[in-house]
Chains A and B, each alone.
Chain A
Amino acid sequence: MIAIRAWELLAGPSLRRSSSSFIRQGRDALSASSLPVATTESFYKIKLELYPSSRGFELLSTLVRRIGSSIVVILVTLTLIFVGLALAPGDELDTLLTPEAAAQLSPEDIAEKRAELGLDKPVPVRYAIWMSKTLSGDLGYSTSEDANVSEVLKTYVGNTAILIFAALFLGVILGVLFGILAALKENTWIDYVVGSIPIFIAGVPGFILSLGFIYFISVKLNALPAGGMHSLDDDSFLDLLKHMILPVSVLALVLAAQLVRYTRASMLEVLNSEFIIAAKSKGISSRRVTFNHAFKAALVPIISVIGLHLPEIIAGAVITETVFRWEGMGTLAVRAAGGRDVPMVMGIVVVVAITVVITNLITDIAYTIADPRVRLG
């Protein structure tokens, strides 16, 4: 016990924090997210004590458990939102029925339509029907889009996916690069400039940024299209790419703004730790010290932050898509919500929840690969 206490006291700040968090994480993992099923729990513990198996098996068993808990999370999300939608006052019919139309129709007509939409059944029954249909892949019919929910989602998910992945790709590169630069050139003018721009970007509302891009780049420089996904007569991929540049840049800028601060913080923390001085004492080149040693160790917290930020990018996309006339999940969500279109809204929630849960899983796995000390909790 003394050694550990001493080690914990004296270890450099970064290691002490991650080491204690490593310990706590280990304990959290065991107590918090273990499935209530007693058997897998004890089996998992015995497995660990008896013979510290190779990383492969350990990864697999926890992966399965994590996927299990993610499915539970998605189910809970869907239930909460469905019940929330059902309990909220008014329903789909209110928006479908314009005042003029409602006045001219007899109560029987209205009742018939209500039955057709299935709105007359009690909430649990409706939920059961919806859930059984969803599990069998039929997400139902969207009144606001006049089409089958799954068809609509196919195109819209694709459109947003391109935007989000491109923004993620560009945002991460920009964020990490400038983060490292700010850390390496700490307390110089570069650090202050690179450090302060993100703070301002964080303060500016999303659509102002988008409007600014439209006016300064697309209109003033007449460089790129001002909106929409394609020019009128051109469906080529290159045209789509041209239309993508502005919205992606807005999203990437917002993501990079946050990543710069995290990268800089974690890079500085690593550069302070002793193993960097030890590495230098080995006489290896400074570029190797910066990239092979410092960046690799700093990568660990950055990965978790990227995972945390995905929901925010999707949320940011809602505003950006509306301003740039990009037919993606954002515009769809706004239309569906406006039209009180429950099947469509639930369809969107299913897709978004699954994407976010999958990305959390991927981030965890990446986190485990990047930081050998952490076992997949």
Chain B
Amino acid sequence: MYLALIELDRDTSPKGLSMQKLFRRVLVLGLISSLALSIPLTTSAGASSKKPADKKTATKKPAAKKPAAKKAAPTVLRMLRMGDWSNAFGPSRNSSGTDHIINFMIFDNLVKIAPDEKTILPALATKWTVSKDAKKITFELRKGVKFHDGSTFDATDVAETIGFNCRINAWNYIGYRPQLWEAVVGCADLKDKKEGVPSGVKVNDPYNIEINIASADAQWLRGLTDAVYSIIPSEVHKGQEFKTWKDSDFVLAEPIGTGPYTVKKFKRYQYLELAANPNYYGGKPKIDTVFMLLAVPETNVLPLLQKGEVDIAIDVNPTLEDQVDKLADYKSVWNNTTGARYFQFRNDHPTFGDKRVRQAVLFAFDYRSYLKNVLKNRGGIRWMFPAFDQNRIPLEKYEYNPDKAKALLKASGVDLNKEYKINVLAGDSGDATMSVAMKQALEAVGMKVKLNVLEVAAWAAETRIAKADKDTWALTFNSGGSLGLGTARGFSVFDCKTPLFSYYSKCDIPELYAKLRVETDPDEIVKIENDLMKVLNDEVPFYTPWLRQTYNVVSKRVGGNFELYPNDRDSSMGIAGWTIAPKK
């Protein structure tokens, strides 16, 4: 009982042994035991040993710096591109920009595009002639080209590639679908067959092939530069079911193409190591090894740059510019993109059907201030779809003019105390900002607006509703990656019959696009484009206010004919000519 009364505090510091000695002895004990543990472990090979020791003492220096330079140090380029990645190779596994870049290092198409994204350059095909009615294209193929596995490239590979793509049903393509191969005559009747080449493909001789397409398409050839249309060796997939082929080594580990680089090592979600292909027809690439860093989270980009562990970083966060300016051996490269983020109206909406309302919305928004403050002037103001020459004919610029917006609204007699719905795709920070800014702008001119935030699936479904009523969404935001590649590219955006992922109730625009795609005479093309511009600008189903520039960081050691294409995913077409100076 006595203990309870008298607060007997702990007899804590034993006089005999000073605290420091005890603590030091314990620490030494801890270190020795972890040291003893780590020695046997470092000898055990393999990354997944169960119980490695780990010693966290500041004094431990990292292993010696780079090993002594060998004779002629191999040139190494390390690259990364933001954005996800499909973890596999080959045309059918092509779903993002990064897939594109990797694809062009390994494979070749019949033709490729110049940095101006307009002139078509020879690749596996040296010459090509397009028939008068733009329905038949014959290619002269390059001789003496070898695949990475040593087999020679000739017309049968091209024919078999087209045949193989026709046989796989479109379902197996994640992302981009080979619509141009599907346009070849006889491709449709090969569906789900074991083998065969479409009737529209004629192999005149081992290096001359003729391709007939069902309906005329002036842009068909330009489209062939897309990564989905790379040529793969025929032996690889001859008579193979796609189900088994898609898990084959070709797709998952060792793709075989004619490109400048071959896959040396592939560590899923970490990095891809590519070695130069010595007998590349365009001459041995100047850089021996290319590393492609994969799945790099945004937080790691700057540390990698600061530690000099990456040479080219494509499409990274523009706000990095201030930090990159502090890095001596890197430079910022801004690149006009071909992508566009656009406002998309539902013009069969009872109220928004009236174009004056749509025009009022455009006048209500202050584009210059968004460009100046948020995009930091990195980009341009656009009042017409990218790829069109917007200064060729007088067009309405819809500069910020709230009074005009109010006037138009009054003129159109729109019911101002009804609430209109703006659909917002959840998870996209860009959309989230735009929708709030648009809501504020419209409320400033008197319109009542409700933001309807939807998950991907729900948003896509609502965009594709066939018939709009007074409760359907009136305005949403959308973006397209390759709209700037060609004026005809917009055809997939407009559809007056079955809504693809956008809807334009009147059918005048789709007709003009259809004419544009077929027309081969340049003057005629300009005339159609001007008509299109007038309709698009006045009717305003879509409006692309900004041309956004992407931000890239490139080491000053990179040289040769290195150049970022406007559509940065095409840039690796010229990778064979890139050079990199060794580290100082």
* Residues of chain A at the chain B interface (Cβ within 8 Å): 10, 90, 94-96, 98-105, 109, 112-113, 145-147, 155, 157-159, 161-162, 165-166, 169-170, 173, 177, 180-181, 183-186, 211, 214-215, 218-219, 222-230, 232-233, 235, 237-242, 244-245, 248-249, 252, 268, 271-272, 274, 276-277, 280, 285-287, 289-290, 322-323, 325, 327, 331
Q: Which residues of B contact A289 (CB under 8 A)?
A: 14
Contact B169 A162 (CB under 8 A): no
- The 6 A-B pairs with the shortest beta carbon distances in the complex, nearest first, are A286-B14, A158-B48, A99-B460, A226-B303, A166-B54, A94-B457
Contact B300 A226 (CB under 8 A): yes
Please pick, from B51, B269, B307, the residue contacting A165 in the complex, using a CB distance under 8 A: B51
Q: Which residues of B contact A95 (CB under 8 A)?
A: 456
Given A105-B170, A170-B54, A237-B41, decide whether A226 and B307 contact each other with a Cβ distance below 8 A: yes
Closest to B306 in A: A219
Please pick, from B11, B42, B307, the residue contacting A277 in the complex, using a CB distance under 8 A: B11
Given A98-B175, A169-B51, decide whether A286 and B273 contact each other with a Cβ distance below 8 A: no
Prevailing SS type, chain A contact patch: helix
* Alpha-carbon distance A286/B15, docked complex (angstroms): 8
Contact A186 B47 (CB under 8 A): no
Closest to A93 in B: B457
Please pick, from A98, A109, A146, A211, the residue contacting B88 in the complex, using a CB distance under 8 A: A146
* Alpha-carbon distance A256/B463, docked complex (angstroms): 51
Contact A146 B87 (CB under 8 A): yes
Chain B stretch 1-50: residues in CB contact (< 8 A) with chain A: 1, 3, 8, 10-17, 19, 22-23, 26-27, 30, 34, 38, 41-42, 44-50
* Alpha-carbon distance A337/B526, docked complex (angstroms): 50
* Alpha-carbon distance A103/B63, docked complex (angstroms): 54
Question: 19 more A-B contacts (CB under 8 A) besides A102-B460, A169-B53?
Answer: A95-B456, A98-B174, A99-B463, A101-B174, A146-B87, A146-B246, A146-B247, A147-B247, A147-B252, A169-B54, A170-B54, A186-B10, A223-B62, A228-B270, A232-B78, A237-B41, A276-B11, A280-B11, A290-B14
Interface bits B455-468 vs A (CB < 8 Å: 1, else 0): 01100100110000
Interface bits B115-126 vs A (CB < 8 Å: 1, else 0): 000000000000
Q: Which residues of A contact B247 (CB under 8 A)?
A: 146-147
Closest to B14 in A: A286
Q: Which residues of A contact B30 (CB under 8 A)?
A: 173, 177
Contact A162 B48 (CB under 8 A): yes
Q: Is B193 an interface residue (CB 8 A)?
A: no
Contact A224 B62 (CB under 8 A): yes
B220 to chain A, nearest CB (A): 19
Please list 11 pairs of residues, one from A and one from B, whose beta carbons are closer than 8 Å in the complex, sorted by A's number: A100-B500, A103-B464, A103-B501, A105-B170, A109-B171, A112-B171, A158-B48, A180-B26, A215-B303, A237-B45, A325-B295
Q: Which residues of A contact B173 (CB under 8 A)?
A: 101
Closest to B44 in A: A237
* Alpha-carbon distance A239/B267, docked complex (angstroms): 15
Q: Which residues of A contact B88 (CB under 8 A)?
A: 146
* Alpha-carbon distance A156/B370, docked complex (angstroms): 44
B179 to chain A, nearest CB (A): 9
Q: Which residues of B contact A161 (CB under 8 A)?
A: 48, 50
* Alpha-carbon distance A102/B557, docked complex (angstroms): 44
Contact B171 A241 (CB under 8 A): no
Contact B13 A237 (CB under 8 A): no
Q: Which residues of B contact A229 (CB under 8 A)?
A: 47, 270
Closest to B62 in A: A242
B8, B34, B267: most-surrounded residue (chain A CB, <10 A): B267
Q: Is B56 an interface residue (CB 8 A)?
A: yes
Q: Which residues of A contact B295 (CB under 8 A)?
A: 325
Q: Which residues of A contact B175 (CB under 8 A)?
A: 98, 101
Closest to A241 in B: B52
Q: Is B291 an interface residue (CB 8 A)?
A: yes
Q: Is B299 an interface residue (CB 8 A)?
A: yes
Q: Which residues of A contact B334 (CB under 8 A)?
A: none
Q: Is B271 an interface residue (CB 8 A)?
A: yes
Contact A166 B52 (CB under 8 A): yes
A161 to chain B, nearest CB (A): 6
Q: Which residues of A contact B174 (CB under 8 A)?
A: 96, 98, 101
Contact B50 A165 (CB under 8 A): yes
Contact A185 B19 (CB under 8 A): yes
* Alpha-carbon distance A145/B447, docked complex (angstroms): 47
Given A161-B50, A232-B78, decide whether A242 and B63 contact each other with a Cβ distance below 8 A: yes
Given A94-B457, A229-B47, decide whether A162 and B13 contact each other with a Cβ distance below 8 A: no
* Alpha-carbon distance A248/B34, docked complex (angstroms): 14
Closest to A228 in B: B270
* Alpha-carbon distance A109/B192, docked complex (angstroms): 12
Q: Which residues of A contact B51 (CB under 8 A)?
A: 165, 169
Interface bits B38-82 vs A (CB < 8 Å: 1, else 0): 100110111111111110100000110000000000001010000
Q: Which residues of A contact B309 (CB under 8 A)?
A: 225-226, 232
Contact A237 B501 (CB under 8 A): no
Q: Which residues of A contact B372 (CB under 8 A)?
A: none
Given A104-B170, A173-B30, A242-B63, decide whether A211 and B47 contact each other with a Cβ distance below 8 A: no
Q: Which residues of B contact A183 (CB under 8 A)?
A: 12
B19, B302, B303, B304: most-surrounded residue (chain A CB, <10 A): B303
Q: Which residues of B contact A238 (CB under 8 A)?
A: 42, 63
Q: Is B297 an interface residue (CB 8 A)?
A: yes
Contact A268 B300 (CB under 8 A): no
Contact A327 B26 (CB under 8 A): no
Closest to A227 in B: B300
Contact A232 B54 (CB under 8 A): no
Closest to A103 in B: B500
Q: Which residues of B contact A10 (CB under 8 A)?
A: 1
* Alpha-carbon distance A364/B497, docked complex (angstroms): 68
* Alpha-carbon distance A99/B457, docked complex (angstroms): 7
Contact A211 B48 (CB under 8 A): no
Given A98-B175, A230-B270, decide whether A241 and B42 contact each other with a Cβ distance below 8 A: yes
Contact B46 A237 (CB under 8 A): yes
Given A173-B30, A177-B27, decide whether A327 and B17 contact each other with a Cβ distance below 8 A: no
